[in-house]
């Protein structure tokens, strides 16, 4: 009897130890997840999610929100700095997801193995006076490296790309996956949800409505004039004056700059971005679960326009993007905005593809 108690105590200690320290190799991770030593045993079933860039300004609140999501059973947090502290902090939350941290390039493969959804907020933030193009060389290299790991370790995973400039980083990811022979356009999604979140908020302010009751489709891309809110398709249906349309469109397109300037050198939109990313990730997980009618806007491989990538409404399901919905009727203002968006988007897409192939 005493031996059995000792064995049970040893197993409990092994669970605690495996929870507090990241595995140093894939072999070690297999050992951690084996049988009764897996701390997830007995927890509600769910999905395995990895956040790449979990220690950053977006990554930390996003990781917290994913830990709160009841659809997540295992949460892997990866970064090149500070992951142990973030992991220890978040792991103390009394929610169902088991949290494990991974630090540095040598642990990237362990962080990715077995995942259902990978979210990539990794990269440097935008600072005052910095355009999204200024971010390009650093963030493009980071995304390329992370996607090479995804192609090797979890080629069938759903990938949510947050790292800016999204208009270019999604094409970079696509090229990496093509080279590896693992590219599935249905499973690579650029996160543009923050544009929708802002549109719903700003329109709600103008109309005096709860923003949770407002739905504005936002198409095109995820930078400046490529962000095209379709105010003619707002739900609940309503009409705007030309002044309101101009004001709302401009504010939605420049929402990121508004935050950068307000923070005055202290960062960019991290909290609202984390909220939007968690909202989109939840939609992807509900799609994976098989829920019906999951429609969100996302920047994806598309034939809606002549461009290879374009943000529009998509229906999510078990395979990722199951249907790309048409743009619907556009008014004259939106048609003009679409042409501006396409011109800039074409350059950003070319820039990403050229980077990935150089």
Residues placed in the known binding site: 53-59, 79, 126, 132, 139, 162-164, 198, 273
| Alpha carbons within 13 A on the beta-carbon side of 269 | 22
Q: Point out the residues that are catalytic.
A: 222
Given a contact cutoff of 8 angstroms between Cβ atoms, the answer to whether 231 and 248 are in contact is: yes
Residues placed in the known binding site for substrate: 126, 132, 164, 198
User: Residue 77 forms beta bridges with which residues?
Assistant: 51, 101
> How many helices (DSSP H) and strands (DSSP E) are in the chain?
12, 11
Residue 34 neighbours by CB under 8 Å, 6+ apart: none
Residues placed in the known binding site for NAD(+): 53-59, 79, 139, 162-164, 273
**How far, in Å, CA of 301 to CA of 186, rounded?**
8
Question: Of the candidates 296, 23, 326, which has an alpha carbon nearest to the alpha carbon of residue 158?
Answer: 296
For the chain, the maximum distance between any two Cα atoms, rounded to a whole number of angstroms, is: 80
Burial 272-300 (b: 16+ CB within 10 A, else e): bbbbbbbbbbbbbbbbbeeeeebebbbbb
Given a contact cutoff of 8 angstroms between Cβ atoms, the answer to whether 269 and 191 are in contact is: no
Terminal CA-to-CA distance of the chain, rounded, Å?
66
**How far, in Å, CA of 332 to CA of 257, rounded?**
26
């Amino acid at each position: 009897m005493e031996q059995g108690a000792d064995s049970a105590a040893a197993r409990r200690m092994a669970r605690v130890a495996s929870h507090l320290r990241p595995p140093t190799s894939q072999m070690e991770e297999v050992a951690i997840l084996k049988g009764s030593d897996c701390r997830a045993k007995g927890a509600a079933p769910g999905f395995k999610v990895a956040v790449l860039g979990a220690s950053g300004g977006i990554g930390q609140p996003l990781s917290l929100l994913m830990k709160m999501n009841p659809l997540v059973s295992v949460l892997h947090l990866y970064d090149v700095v500070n992951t142990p502290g973030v992991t220890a902090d978040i792991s103390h939350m009394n929610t169902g997801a088991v949290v494990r941290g991974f630090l540095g390039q040598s642990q990237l493969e362990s962080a990715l193995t077995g995942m259902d959804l990978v979210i990539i907020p990794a990269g440097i933030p935008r600072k005052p006076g910095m355009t999204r193009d200024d971010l390009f060389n650093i963030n493009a290299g980071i995304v390329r490296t992370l996607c090479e790991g995804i192609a090797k370790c979890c080629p069938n995973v759903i990938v949510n790309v947050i790292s800016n400039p999204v208009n270019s980083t999604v094409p970079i990811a696509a090229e990496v996956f093509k080279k590896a022979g693992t590219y599935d356009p249905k499973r690579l999604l650029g996160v543009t949800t923050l544009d929708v979140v802002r549109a719903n908020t700003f329109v709600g302010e103008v109309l005096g409505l709860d923003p949770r009751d407002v739905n504005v489709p936002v198409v095109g891309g995820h930078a400046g004039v490529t962000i095209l809110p379709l105010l003619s398709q707002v739900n609940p249906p309503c009409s705007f004056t030309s002044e309101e349309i101009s004001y709302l469109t401009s504010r939605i397109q420049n929402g990121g700059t508004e935050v950068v300037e307000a923070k005055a050198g202290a960062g960019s939109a991290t909290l609202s971005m984390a909220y939007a990313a968690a909202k989109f990730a939840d939609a992807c997980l509900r799609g994976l679960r098989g829920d019906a009618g999951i429609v969100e806007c996302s920047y994806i491989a598309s034939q809606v326009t002549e461009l290879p990538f374009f943000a529009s409404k998509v229906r999510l399901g078990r395979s990722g993007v199951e249907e790309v919905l048409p743009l619907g009727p556009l008014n004259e203002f939106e048609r003009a905005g679409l042409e501006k968006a396409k011109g800039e988007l074409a350059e950003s897409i070319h820039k990403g593809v050229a980077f990935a192939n150089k």
